[in-house]
Amino acid sequence: MRKAIKQIAVCAVLLLLFCLVCRFAFYRSYTAFIPLQPGTEENFREPGLFPEIEEPEVLRVGEPRIRDGYMQVAIQPEQRGETDLIFRGKNGEETPLHVLRVSRFHTVYDMNTGDFTGANAVLIAVTMFWLLVSAIMLWHFRQAKGPAFYAYASVYYAGFFLFALTTGLTMLRVTANHLVRPAEYSMMAAYGTINSASISFMQMTTPLMLAFAIAMAVSNIVLLRHMRPRVQNVLGLLISGLLIGGEVLGWVLFSRDFSGSEWEGRIRNTLENTYATVFVYFECMLMGSVICGIRAVRYEPVRDKDFIIILGCWFRRDGSLPPLLRGRVDRALAFWREQKKATGKEAVFIPSGGQGWDELMPEAEAIRRYLLSQGVPDRLILPEKQSGNTLENMLFSKEVIRDINPEGKTIFATTNYHVFRSGVWAGLANLPAEGIGSRTKWWFWPNAFMRETVGLLQKRWWQETLFLILLIGFFSLLSMTVG
């Protein structure tokens, strides 16, 4: 993640330098576009027509040109200050009052349109920044393979790549319009696009989120028909309700008409953007988690492993394995047999799981007995019987591996919805390992995976909160500044 942040920072610095070079090398003057009333263009086509300037020492004005209902005027800054200008036609018509400000660096700011000297370069730089951010995130996501893939960074790359890409493509459209038709598409349009990036993304992804929420709700309802109602068994319904309710509330907020003062409008924009930023943040994290979960399940490790960790879970009182745990062991057995057939290499099984208060033996022992019944030699089974959760599965299994072959290659077997989170825990335990997942019922998988996602993000709640506060602060400041 740090490498990606450094690359993004380098891109930002290079694009800033690009803006500065363009500003002082190619954009030394400013062109203002002043709208004319329909039917009055001919009244301003007088030779030698010049405006009335309140502070003539601040800037010089070239001879205006009339085109497509606008008066195009070249502005040459002279000294720091602020002035207004107005043109009068031969029949007494007046152009709207145009206010211009010149900075100490001779940059002209157009207070009417938000444009300024070198605005084209800035728009190109901002567009390139978002597109480069999306490319960097996609590159890092695709490069994260093997044990390196199981990390929080993969969730960020997958989720926020989509946000950066859509924002970049939207800015590309705005930039193209401004370059081709600068009179009609001023910088105010660009400010509005950046300011409302979260709102735009939320609106564009509404169909996807609603479809996901409905599918989640359907699977959860079927789940409740097979299992008793408990908090963890209704999480999918809760998430679905929050997604649908959030989209509906956003539609109500963004579609309301508004009438009020300028500052009231900015406050309203700030509240809307804050809401959209919070919603989109969790939306991106959800999408990133889903993408990572699917990729983790579909990945097939190279068959060159020395150890296969089997993560334990609840088993029956008679010691037999229920479908969920048996699926994990069968998935590990299938990999072991395929590897042995292809390479002749026999991996060592490490059943991992301690004894719960309601269990007659450690979970690892129950798995061991099942492996023996499937023809696995006892010498290839090294149970780990102390762990009480997934992180401990990885920590204690690492100790077993270290005593035999510290350089050995490892995979872990668990249920499909649990693969990515287990890989993250393996990384926290400093155990380089890849995962394989067993299948489960279609109606069980979405709710269980959502539970895993919540658990994954809960582990980093303060980092997530800090990052979210920074995003809210940025968009709130932008809303209050440019409206």
- 255-272 burial, b at 16+ Cβ within 10 Å, e below that, comes to eeeeeeeeeeebebbbeb
Selection from 106-110, 256-260, 476-480 with the highest mean pLDDT: 106-110
Cα separation, 360 vs 92, in Å, equals 99
pLDDT class of 316 with cuts at 50, 70, 90: confident
Cα separation, 314 vs 304, in Å, equals 30
Query: Mean pLDDT throughout 423-443?
Result: 90
- pLDDT at res. 359: 73
Is residue 421 predicted with pLDDT exceeding 60? yes
- The residue behind tokens 């003057």 is 29
Cα separation, 197 vs 34, in Å, equals 28
Cα separation, 364 vs 283, in Å, equals 38
How wide is the angle at C-alpha 471 spanned by C-alphas 417 and 258, nearest 5°?
A: 110
Is residue 92 predicted with pLDDT exceeding 80? no
Q: How would you classify the pairing of strands 348-352 and 307-311?
A: parallel
Cα separation, 174 vs 267, in Å, equals 25
Interval 94-130: pLDDT, tens: 788 888 899 988 999 998 888 999 999 999 999 999 9
Least confident of 220-229, 333-342, 346-355: 220-229
- CATH code of the region 307-459: 3.40.50.620
> In three state form, how does the secondary structure of the chain look?
CHHHHHHHHHHHHHHHHHHHHHHHHCCCCEEEEEECCCCCHHHHCCCCCCCEECCCCCEEECCCEEECCEEEEEEEECCCEEEEEECECCCCCECCCEEEEECCCCCEEECCCCCECCHHHHHHHHHHHHHHHHHHHHHHHHHCCHHHHCCHHHHHHHHHHHHHHHHHHHHHHHHHHHHHCCCCCCHHHHHHHHHCHHHHHHHHCHHHHHHHHHHHHHHHHHHHHHCCCCHHHCHHHHHHHHHHHHHHHHHHHHHCCCCCCHHHHHHHHHHHHHHHHHHHHHHHHHHHHHHHHHHHHHCCCCCCCCEEEEECCCCCCCCCCCHHHHHHHHHHHHHHHHHHHHHCCCCEEEEECCCCCCCCCCHHHHHHHHHHHCCCCHHHECCECCCCCHHHHHHHHHHHHHHHCCCCCEEEEEEHHHHHHHHHHHHHCCCCEEEEEECCCCCCHHHHHHHHHHHHHHCCHHHHHHHHHHHHHHHHHHHHHHC
Query: Mean pLDDT throughout 25-40?
Result: 84
What are the residue boundaries of the structural domains of the chain, listed by start? Answer: 28-110, 126-288+462-482, 307-459
State pTM to two decimals: 0.85
Mean predicted lDDT score pLDDT of the chain: 87
Query: Mean pLDDT throughout 263-267?
Result: 71
Please count the residues of the chain. 483
pLDDT class of 475 with cuts at 50, 70, 90: low
Least confident of 60-69, 99-108, 414-423: 60-69
Residue 374 has phi, psi (to 5 degrees) of -95, 10
431: left (phi over 0), alpha (psi -120 to 50) or beta: beta
Is residue 339 predicted with pLDDT exceeding 80? yes
Provide CB contacts within 8 A for 352, sequence distance 6+: 309, 310, 311, 312, 363, 364, 383, 384, 387, 393, 396, 397
Tell me if the domain spanning 28-110 has CATH number 2.160.20.
no
Is residue 135 predicted with pLDDT exceeding 90? yes
- pLDDT at res. 478: 63
Interval 146-203: pLDDT, tens: 889 998 889 989 989 998 999 899 889 989 998 988 888 888 878 877 778 888 888 8
Cβ neighbours around 338 below 10 Å, total: 12
Is residue 382 predicted with pLDDT exceeding 80? yes
More confident residue, 265 or 369: 369
Cα separation, 317 vs 68, in Å, equals 84
How wide is the angle at C-alpha 74 spanned by C-alphas 73 and 77, nearest 5°?
A: 130
- pLDDT at res. 123: 92
Q: How far is CA 311 from CA 177, 315, 356, in A?
A: 56, 12, 14
Tokens of 392: 């401990």
- 112-141 burial, b at 16+ Cβ within 10 Å, e below that, comes to bbbbbbbbbbbbbbbbbbbbbbbbbbbebb
- pLDDT at res. 210: 92
Residue 118, CB half-sphere, CA atoms under 13 Å: how many?
20
Residue 306 has phi, psi (to 5 degrees) of -95, -30
